[in-house]
Amino acid sequence: MPERRPTRSLPGALRSLRTPADPGFWRSPVRGARFTAVLGIVLLAGLTLLFVTGLLSYAAYNPDLNPVNDKTPGKGLLGFYLFSWPTGPHWLYRLTQGLHVTIGIVLVPVLLAKLWSVIPRLFALPPARSVGHALERLSLLLLIGGALFQFITGLLNIQLDYLFPGSFYTLHFYGAWVFLAGFVTHTVLKAPQAVRVLRNGIPRGEPDTLAAPDPLPATLSRRGALAMVGAGSLLLLITSAGRSFDGPLRRIALLTPRGGTDPGPGPNAFQVNKTAAAVRITPADTGERWRLTVRGPAGEFRFSRAELLAMEQHSAALPIACVEGWSTSDQQWRGVRLSDLAALAGFPDRPPGVFVESLQRGGSFRKTALRDNQVRDGRSLLALEVNGAPLSPDHGYPARIIVPAAPGVLNTKWVETLTFGEL
């Protein structure tokens, strides 16, 4: 039996015996119902925005148009909401996907603070008071596991660190729906409490069950802790948001993929996704021997770049907007209208969609499908020039697709074949 210690040190000894299941173990004076409620309401708004913009991004690919556009063909009822993605406003995808990724980044400190504020609940005993409580805790695994899964896969994907076990599209799409199941449940059960606490405070006589029963002296007020979380979000916003613009704003984005610099000088010095070298496009592929094949009911036609340049040229000011959340400002594209090529192929009016094939050797979306509304838009071009200069190899020389409001990956580069007709 150990020697008895002087009674003076007994409280200290007892304290050191506390386990996380003991409410007295958690001593931060910052935890409390109001603190959690503020973070919860911010997340309610923010995560709802992430979910909706995420669904929009899936719709923007027109996945139900053709299997080549769909990375989650087994979606079943989860694709219930799909619609024809519009071509206007031309910055639509740039906005929705920029919000999706940038707000996702900015919400990280809020999510971490929210989880920190309720961590004592994880260890509370008994683990479940009833069957209902046990089920509710299981749904919290969907919520917290789902939220972390979505944030981690998203953040890794935009940094091109494909550690996750499978295709990003599949994991992030179905992961979002699993998360939603937990999110809706938690919102229905808890949002009324959060609103009540923020409106009226905690009713007199009721304990603040999220506050430490035995808090340490404060080194930071609750307001100060919220300000610290807000400062984290603000810092992330400042160092990230510029990735959706060219020039000075991008240079402010010091710590984010595609932040800081634009690639090189000149008219083609705007952000690239997949360099020519990355998809093994050689000068021989795109030189004098290159021909564009256009197919349709009128037959199959082959055009050299010079022949395409001799056709009626049109201009369009359109951005490149990537699923990874970065985008460029509007670039001045010039080339042949897709609707004019459709007319050559045998659709003089009301052209249908088009199946586009690229020269590129690898990479998903080597083949893509565009819907009729995209072909019919006068700003949809087979671009040959950008900002007054021929396309650079990295931007798709000799010819690329550019469509207003479409995800970057549907703006196929190094185009080889266009097949107009039913898809």
Partner 1 sequence: MSTRAVPPGSATSRRPRFSPRRLYGEGPFHLILLAASFCLAGYAGVRLLDGDTVGVLLWFAGAAVLHDLVLLPVYAGADRALRAALGPRTALVNFVRVPAFLSGLLLLIWFPLIARRTERRYEAAAGTTPGVYFGNWLLITGVLFALSALWLLARALRSRTGRRRDTNVRPSAPH
Residues of span 241-300 touching partner 1 by CB under 8 A: 254-258, 260-264, 271-275, 277-278
How big is the site for partner 1, counted in residues (CB under 8 A)? 86
By CB under 8 A, residue 227 contacts partner 1: yes
Per the CB < 8 A criterion, the answer to whether 375 and 362 are in contact is no
Smallest gap from Cβ 61 to partner 1, in A, equals: 17
Determine the Cα angle at 74 with ends 72 and 78, to 5°.
Answer: 85
**String marking each residue 311-330 x if it binds partner 1 according to CB under 8 A:** --------------------
By CB under 8 A, residue 221 contacts partner 1: yes
CA distances (Å), origin 116, targets 112, 122, 141, 144: 6, 10, 15, 12
Smallest gap from Cβ 231 to partner 1, in A, equals: 6
Residue 170 burial by CB count (10 A; 0-12/13-18/19+): exposed, middle or buried? middle
Judged by CB under 8 A, which stretch of 44-52, 158-166, 285-293, 378-386 contacts partner 1? 158-166
Helices (H), 61-160: 92-117, 119-123, 131-158
Query: What is the distance between the alpha carbons of residues 133 and 6, in angstroms, rounded to a whole number?
Result: 43
Site for partner 1 in 359-398 (CB under 8 A): 394
Smallest gap from Cβ 15 to partner 1, in A, equals: 13
CA torsion, ordered 117, 122, 126, 130, to nearest 10 deg: 90
By CB under 8 A, residue 310 contacts partner 1: no
By CB under 8 A, residue 52 contacts partner 1: no
Nearer to partner 1, 119 or 310 (CB): 119
Altogether, the residues listed in the chain come to a count of 423
By CB under 8 A, residue 130 contacts partner 1: yes
Smallest gap from Cβ 250 to partner 1, in A, equals: 11
Site for partner 1 in 58-97 (CB under 8 A): 72, 74-78
By CB under 8 A, residue 166 contacts partner 1: yes
Smallest gap from Cβ 47 to partner 1, in A, equals: 16
By CB under 8 A, residue 211 contacts partner 1: no
Q: Which two tokens stand for residue 397?
A: 């020389």
Query: What is the distance between the alpha carbons of residues 228 and 226, in angstroms, rounded to a whole number?
Result: 5
Nearer to partner 1, 105 or 406 (CB): 105
Per the CB < 8 A criterion, the answer to whether 153 and 172 are in contact is yes
Sign of the torsion angle spanned by Cα atoms 28, 31, 32, 34: positive
Contact with partner 1 (CB under 8 A): which of 135, 310, 317, 389? 135
